[in-house]
Structure 1
Amino acid sequence: MARSLDVVVTSVATRLMAVEAANAVAVIQPILADLVEHFHVDVSFLRSNDHDLKASILVAEWPVRPVVPDPDPLKVIYFADADPVFAISEHGKKPQVFRPEPATGEYQQTIEGGGGVPHSSMAAAPLVSGDVTTGVLGFVKFGDREWSSAELNALEAIGSLFAQVQARIKAEDQLRYLAEHDDLTGVYNRRALVAHLEDRLAAGRPGPVAVLFLDLDRLKAVNDYLGHTAGDEFIRVSAQRLREETASADCLIARLGGDEFVVVPRTACSAAEAEVLADRLHAALSERVAVDGEMLARTVSVGVAVGDPGRHSVSDLLRRADQAVLEAKDTGGNAVRVFTENMAMRTALRNDVELHLQSVIESDALVLHYLPEVDMRTGEVLAAEALVRWQHPTRGLLFPDSFIGVAESINLAGELGRWVLRRACTEFSDWRARGVGPDAVLRVNVSPVQLVADGFADRVAEILDEFGLSGDSVCLEITESLVVQDIDAARVTLAALKEVGVQIAIDDFGTGYSVLSHLKSLPVDTLKIDRSFVRDLGSSAGDLAIVRAIIALAEAFGLGLVAEGVETVAAAQTLAAHRCYRAQGYLLSVPLEGMAMERLLAQGHIELPFSTAEPLPR
């Protein structure tokens, strides 16, 4: 018998080596069946202890019950409610044999849930790991059975083997959890998200598959004000709110790192349905959060995208959701945006620009066009404003709106601005050398980076000297918002530029009147009325009132005045009637390539498509 028991224990040890979390029940059930046969008993079961739950949980049984009630009364048995047979398995360390009184039938009720065969007996071998009882291996005989000390020793050894298996499975589960979950919030991580989406997007799976990309707006302010611990707590609370809001929707929640989350409904979801969910999550995450005694609120930007199984990849879907959330960010954040194909086109253009702009500047592949400035009384060409263009090999002629913002975001705005100034001065000096436009002024826009850069005025002086241009022949244009961003730095730089001798114009004037209080202390020569006030002149009384105020302001300070965006005869005549004669706009001329601008300067004037002597439109 002893030798036979040794063989049984060895066999169990060998077979348990194949157990993993995924196949545990499939491997364990045949082992229990063999043990039932070997020990001549009727039932065997394996249970694990959940000491946090204070309960015994069924892992496997043999024979498998043909009908399992729902809920299964044997699945979870709480120690506080258990009969002595299961209660002792909470902390027991040695095998025990139980023989309930025949009259009570208590044990039989525990196993089968009802009355039945009396004189049942059970042997229970605890699963012990260190000082902790992690479960129990039980054997039931319908009728009495004597257990020898050798058999009990074998059960103890087998119980130890099962304890080792449970510990290994628990460790595997823990490693799997750590590999798939974010350690700060407990939600899934990027790896688990990608695996889930790969399964959902496989051909033949139901769709569409929706992805909601959530990015907390300006969380850096929380980190800077209260520290990163407070920022982490804010993120934890945000994750918990996502769990609560999606509890009824059955969603996978993942944190991509930082302040970014992704929510994926586990069932097919249309773009419209996903947008409704996004609105709900947007509202939930915008509510105040108590952190370190402070009531904090952050808004959130949400991007929504959907993909079709078998057609879109994980990277496709995540990229679309990311593009949508960037669209929300670019419009100020605190918004929900659903992906569109136009977004993809804009993103593709931006990426193209970001990847190639540096080489384009270095290879001198940009071009300048010039927008003439005209006297609307005579048609005389007074100035030329240099406008940068990019002759893209596949996208055609790109205007500044396509790449100036990208240049600023990747710290190329200063380099681009230097290229524009140098190229404009090169062409302008060539025209002068050929006797063209001796009295005209070259206008060049200045970026924020250039204005605050050390030594900017010195570099301007060097370029003018290099090309033999006098300062009064060049006017640098600075936007009104740029001036007030750092008024002290602007005042110093503008003063240095005036020493160089260049003219200074404030571009887009009137968009906020934010520079009015500083105008008298700034060395400015010209105000340029923003096109938004010029476009509807002749039909908008409000725009006319603003333009008249700017004209009066320029006259009071003795400043030059140029109107931008003149596109209608009514606007031109209205400006001229109120003593604003210098203007730019498509009614007068479109931007011209360098050679065409040179010809226009040589000509000296344009034919006006209107007469300023005509009566003003009512």
Structure 2
Amino acid sequence: MLSALNELVQRVAHTLMATDAGNYVAAGEEVLTDVAAHFGLDVAFLRHNDHTIGATILIAQWPIRTCLPDPDPIATVYFKDADPVFALTEHVEEPVILRPVAQPDEFRRHIEEGTVPVVSMAVVPMNVVDTADGSDGFITTGTLGFIKYGDLAWTADVITALKVIATMFAHVKARVEAQESVKHLAEHDDLTGLRNRRSLLDHLAGRLAAGRPGPVAALFIDPDQLKAVNDLLGHETGDQVLVELTQRLREHIADVAFLARLGGDEIIAVLNEPTTLAATYEYAEQLRRMLAARLLLGSTYIRHRVSIGVAVGIPGTDSVSDLLRYAEHALTAAKAAGGNTVIAFSDELAERYSLRTDIEVHLHDCLENGALFLRYLPEVDLQSGELSALEAVVRWNHPTRGLLLREEFMPIAEATNFGGAVGREVMRLACGQFQHWRRAGLAHQVMLRVKLSPAQVVTDGFTEHLAATLAEFDIPAAALCLELPEDLLVAEAQRCGQILLALKDIGVRLALNNFGSGYRFLPSLKELPLDSLKVGREFVHTLDLGGENELFVRSIAALADAFGLELTADGLETESAAQRLVAMGCRRAQGPLVSGPLDSDATEALLKMPTLRPPIRTVVHP
């Protein structure tokens, strides 16, 4: 008998030795089957105790039930509502043996009447030492239960063997839970509890494998203005916003999507079922509206909004990085559109970001291989017909895209910290060419205009580098006019005010470019040391139509006159518009009517001409 028990214990140990989270239930069923067969039992079960919720949970059993009731009354049994047998398993130090002959007279009477089956039961606790409070107590982490229909004598040797088996189960349970904890930490984000980047990449790799159903839909979800919340209320509050967003997502879509935090404030939802782009967009719109809320964080209400980028990937065609890149590009477009919106990835977006990537890759090389070059846009004095200024306009001969205009690559250069370097190169090229013309006796009465990028203006050492460049090429500071973007002066008003004063100390002239595009700069215009304004082309090219645009240009002209500022019109196209400008008091202009951008040779020929066009001597009032 003892030898057979030892063999049973050894078989159980061998089975449990290689057990992990993936096969724990199957191993439990195998052991229960073996033990039940050895003792001729009718029922055997393994249950775990969850002391957090106060319940015992069925893990494995024999015989294995193939048809489970819903709900299953024995799947999870709460101790506070349990019958005496289940209730005693919450905290039990030694095995509990229940036999009919050991029960009270009333219980035996029910058996004799046939109202209660004759059973013998052994309940063996899975106990581990409780080290949490430094005591030598124990925790009942679960129980093994064994039932025999009829009476069975549980000998001391049998009970000892069952205790050994229960102890092995307790240690295996602890090991599996530790493995699961490590696995959970490796796959989940600490703050939100969502899956992490690594887990997301593994999930998408499986979903996008060749032969898997598709399309696979991804939603790139990002809370709007979280940076502002962090700056204003602190990162802890920002984390609360992210946790609240995560909770709302779990409540609404956890059963239909794989949720992960990619990093920072970016959350990815991968829909479980194959979904078209159009259907994904509609779903994302519903989700965006659902996530909109006013959050009370401490004593502060925060208006919560999200932007969502939507994309789909085709298994076997699109890679994981492809799908994430598509969704990220769509999210970037949603943010650029003002936030609180959904944008789906499209061929147009693909081309836009393909161009962006192409520009980013070659930006550094363009500064070293001379791929940047200048064209010069003439500015004329409409009343005299003489050339009054030349605006240096940068172009890029891109190795794969060909000729790129400034507006195509400069915003990307600024976003990738190349704006200052590109601006310095443009300044050197312009000053070098201007020096050449001046040494040839040309351009002494002409102003050189150069547009500045926001990144260039706020770069450390900008004014010092400018002064050094003017000195290097022997260009009088008063011959250079720097054109500043209106939005920069609005966004960086205080900082730019100091920079402008430093530039005026150098002696250069300052112009506000594209004035009127925002019409928001008027209150502080008189506070900055500007010399001139340039009216935006969107107002000038419709001047012949009259109406609001004409009134607007007229008001700008009056404003410039009141502040003693020169005024230049950009985008002049017709003679009638030229006459209207002169009538308003604006005598300088550039645009198609004057000339398009010219290379250096054509510009030099222009510099040798006494006038560019016939003067407007007789003003026709509109």
- TM-score, with structure 2 as normaliser: 0.90
The answer as to whether partners of 1:506 and 1:526 remain within 8 angstroms in 2 is yes
Amino acid corresponding to residue 547 of structure 1 in structure 2: V
Amino acid corresponding to residue 543 of structure 1 in structure 2: N
Amino acid corresponding to residue 57 of structure 1 in structure 2: I
2:338 aligned to which of 332, 338, 344 = 332
Give the aligned CA root-mean-square deviation in angstroms. 2.8
The 3-state SS of whatever aligns with 1:125 is: strand
In structure 1, distance between residues paired with 2:320 and 2:530: 55
Q: Quote the offset at 1:441 in angstroms.
A: 2.0
1:471-496 deviation per Cα after TM superposition (whole angstroms, max 9, x unaligned): 34322222334345455554554444
Amino acid corresponding to residue 238 of structure 1 in structure 2: L
1:507 aligns with 2:506: no
Where in structure 2 are the equivalents of 1:186-205 lying within 5 Å? 186-205=193-212
Equivalent position of 2:569 in the other structure: 563
2:216 aligned to which of 209, 212, 215 = 209
The answer as to whether partners of 2:29 and 2:60 remain within 8 angstroms in 1 is yes
The answer as to whether partners of 1:354 and 1:407 remain within 8 angstroms in 2 is yes
Equivalent position of 1:149 in the other structure: 156
Q: Quote the offset at 1:364 in angstroms.
A: 3.2
In structure 1, distance between residues paired with 2:456 and 2:204: 46
1:310 aligned to which of 316, 320, 329 = 316
- Identical pairs, percent: 47
Amino acid corresponding to residue 88 of structure 2 in structure 1: I
The answer as to whether partners of 1:103 and 1:118 remain within 8 angstroms in 2 is no
Amino acid corresponding to residue 337 of structure 2 in structure 1: T
The answer as to whether partners of 2:99 and 2:152 remain within 8 angstroms in 1 is no
| TM-aligned CA distance change 1:434 to 1:157, over 3 Å | same
The answer as to whether partners of 1:117 and 1:142 remain within 8 angstroms in 2 is no
| TM-aligned CA distance change 1:445 to 1:59, over 3 Å | same
1:386-430 deviation per Cα after TM superposition (whole angstroms, max 9, x unaligned): 011111011011111222222222333222222212211111221
Where in structure 2 are the equivalents of 1:35-50 lying within 5 Å? 35-50=35-50
1:116-135 deviation per Cα after TM superposition (whole angstroms, max 9, x unaligned): 98322122212112211122
The answer as to whether partners of 1:211 and 1:305 remain within 8 angstroms in 2 is yes
1:176 aligns with 2:175: no
The answer as to whether partners of 2:542 and 2:549 remain within 8 angstroms in 1 is yes
In structure 2, distance between residues paired with 1:276 and 1:581: 54
Where in structure 2 are the equivalents of 1:359-374 lying within 5 Å? 359-374=365-380
1:399 aligned to which of 396, 399, 405 = 405
The 3-state SS of whatever aligns with 2:544 is: coil
In structure 1, distance between residues paired with 2:48 and 2:417: 60
Equivalent position of 1:594 in the other structure: 600
The answer as to whether partners of 1:368 and 1:388 remain within 8 angstroms in 2 is yes
1:277 aligns with 2:283: yes
In structure 2, distance between residues paired with 1:433 and 1:124: 105
Equivalent position of 2:125 in the other structure: 126
| TM-aligned CA distance change 1:493 to 1:62, over 3 Å | closer
In structure 2, distance between residues paired with 1:126 and 1:489: 72
Amino acid corresponding to residue 405 of structure 2 in structure 1: F
The 3-state SS of whatever aligns with 1:44 is: strand
Structure 2: unaligned runs, 5 residues or longer: 101-106, 130-137
| TM-aligned CA distance change 1:124 to 1:502, over 3 Å | closer
In structure 1, distance between residues paired with 2:193 and 2:31: 36
The answer as to whether partners of 1:481 and 1:514 remain within 8 angstroms in 2 is no
The 3-state SS of whatever aligns with 1:538 is: helix
| TM-aligned CA distance change 1:431 to 1:50, over 3 Å | same
1:5-25 deviation per Cα after TM superposition (whole angstroms, max 9, x unaligned): 122112211111121111123
The 3-state SS of whatever aligns with 1:369 is: strand
| TM-aligned CA distance change 1:186 to 1:557, over 3 Å | closer
Quick check: 311-320 or 219-228, which moved more? 219-228
In structure 2, distance between residues paired with 1:177 and 1:5: 38
The 3-state SS of whatever aligns with 2:71 is: coil
The 3-state SS of whatever aligns with 2:379 is: strand
| TM-aligned CA distance change 1:612 to 1:399, over 3 Å | farther
| TM-aligned CA distance change 1:61 to 1:480, over 3 Å | closer
1:330-387 deviation per Cα after TM superposition (whole angstroms, max 9, x unaligned): 2333322111122222223223333332332234331111111123456533221001
Q: Quote the offset at 1:212 in angstroms.
A: 0.8
The answer as to whether partners of 1:372 and 1:591 remain within 8 angstroms in 2 is yes
Where in structure 2 are the equivalents of 1:536-555 lying within 5 Å? 536-555=542-561
The 3-state SS of whatever aligns with 2:162 is: helix
1:463 aligned to which of 463, 466, 469 = 469
In structure 1, distance between residues paired with 2:463 and 2:151: 104
1:138-167 deviation per Cα after TM superposition (whole angstroms, max 9, x unaligned): 222122111111111111111111111222
Amino acid corresponding to residue 428 of structure 2 in structure 1: R
The answer as to whether partners of 1:102 and 1:118 remain within 8 angstroms in 2 is no
Amino acid corresponding to residue 345 of structure 1 in structure 2: E
1:535 aligns with 2:541: yes
1:442 aligned to which of 445, 448, 451 = 448
Q: Quote the offset at 1:538 in angstroms.
A: 1.4
Aligned residues: 608
The 3-state SS of whatever aligns with 1:297 is: strand
In structure 1, distance between residues paired with 2:81 and 2:304: 47
1:415 aligned to which of 408, 411, 421 = 421
1:223 aligns with 2:222: no
Equivalent position of 2:103 in the other structure: none
1:283-315 deviation per Cα after TM superposition (whole angstroms, max 9, x unaligned): 344312122222122432211111122221211
Amino acid corresponding to residue 87 of structure 2 in structure 1: A
Equivalent position of 2:532 in the other structure: 526
In structure 2, distance between residues paired with 1:99 and 1:62: 20
The answer as to whether partners of 1:437 and 1:604 remain within 8 angstroms in 2 is no
Q: Quote the offset at 1:276 in angstroms.
A: 2.5
The 3-state SS of whatever aligns with 2:445 is: coil
In structure 1, distance between residues paired with 2:361 and 2:490: 32
The answer as to whether partners of 2:58 and 2:76 remain within 8 angstroms in 1 is yes
Q: Quote the offset at 1:548 in angstroms.
A: 1.0
Amino acid corresponding to residue 214 of structure 2 in structure 1: G
The answer as to whether partners of 2:478 and 2:509 remain within 8 angstroms in 1 is yes
| TM-aligned CA distance change 1:593 to 1:289, over 3 Å | same
Q: Quote the offset at 1:40 in angstroms.
A: 1.9
In structure 1, distance between residues paired with 2:146 and 2:353: 66
Equivalent position of 2:132 in the other structure: none
Quick check: 294-303 or 484-493, which moved more? 484-493
In structure 2, distance between residues paired with 1:176 and 1:325: 31
The answer as to whether partners of 2:379 and 2:589 remain within 8 angstroms in 1 is yes
Equivalent position of 1:578 in the other structure: 584
**After TM superposition, what 4+ stretches of structure 1 lie above 6 angstroms from structure 2?**
610-617
| TM-aligned CA distance change 1:570 to 1:308, over 3 Å | farther
Quick check: 188-197 or 441-450, which moved more? 441-450
Q: Quote the offset at 1:580 in angstroms.
A: 2.7
Equivalent position of 1:81 in the other structure: 81
Quick check: 403-412 or 383-392, which moved more? 403-412
In structure 2, distance between residues paired with 1:118 and 1:261: 56
| TM-aligned CA distance change 1:116 to 1:191, over 3 Å | farther
1:301 aligns with 2:307: yes
In structure 2, distance between residues paired with 1:58 and 1:494: 76
Quick check: 193-202 or 303-312, which moved more? 193-202
